[in-house]
Amino acid sequence: MRDYHFFSDHKISEKGQNVVINGSEANHIIKVKRVQKGQTLTLIDNEGGFAKAVLTDFRNEKAFLEILDIIPSFDDRQEIILIISLLKGEAMDWCIQKATELGVKEIYPVITDFSTIKLDAEKNTKKIQRFKEISIQALKQCRSFRAPDIKDILPLENFLKIIKNKEDSCSKIWLWEQKKEQSDILTIFKNFKFSLPVCLLIGPEGGFSPREIKMIPEHGFIPATLGNRILRAETAALSSISIISGFLNHVACKNN
């Protein structure tokens, strides 16, 4: 049987540990992948825990497992923080999924002046829970160890106040299609001293408001372009993440 990865809400800590999985993940183990008693599988816990386990029982819609062996793991996420204006429907879901696959470390969904989605505490709590579930499924698919830390939804200006405290400890880039004679992302990295993590700011489909265009560079963000084409926000986000990730991998290889 193919070695599928499954998610545990419980921290994986030691050999011999008993783990109970319920809900949709238990259903996925038993009814979707049809794991049988005595068969082994791989568990992750999103805290770096990674283990081989055996299914010992299934009852009352719960899967009972025993940890057979702890497997060494590491945090393989990139030092990239994605700040993205909350997108409508499947576009945001797709962005969360692909950002997870590409190894983004943190995601800040923000509300901007031109966002079509507005702040609503109850609805936004459900959105964040959905984003985390999508991220975990993507984590399992790409067989990695840690999903992004997805933050609560907040207004852009509130995020900028948070990032202000990291003035000297990160590189800050924002995609802005209206500024002429601006540089692409790689040119910015080559011409400016950069530090980690890299904060990448992506606006909504309607762009940034005049107020935000004035405010963002005041907090240290350098405008960048992806070329002459006007891209959808989710396309711009994933293209930029790929470029930054490739550059960071290149630097890491040179330093090793």
Give the total number of structural domains in the chain.
2
Distance CA 182, CA 224 (A): 6
Asked if the structure places residue 124 within a domain, the reply is yes
pLDDT per position in the chain (256 positions), as tens? 566 789 898 889 899 999 999 988 899 899 888 999 999 999 998 788 899 999 999 998 999 999 999 988 888 899 999 999 999 889 999 999 999 999 999 999 999 998 877 777 788 889 999 999 999 999 988 888 899 999 999 999 999 988 876 656 788 999 987 666 678 888 888 877 778 899 999 998 888 999 999 999 999 899 998 888 888 999 999 999 999 999 888 887 777 6
> Based on the domain organization, do 65 and 84 belong to the same domain?
no
149 & 63 share domain: no
Domain of residue 15, residue span: 5-70
> Which residues, 6+ apart, have CB-to-CB distance to 44 below 8 Å?
5, 6, 7, 8, 12, 50, 139, 140, 145
Q: How far is CA 5 from CA 53, 58, 143, in A?
A: 10, 18, 7
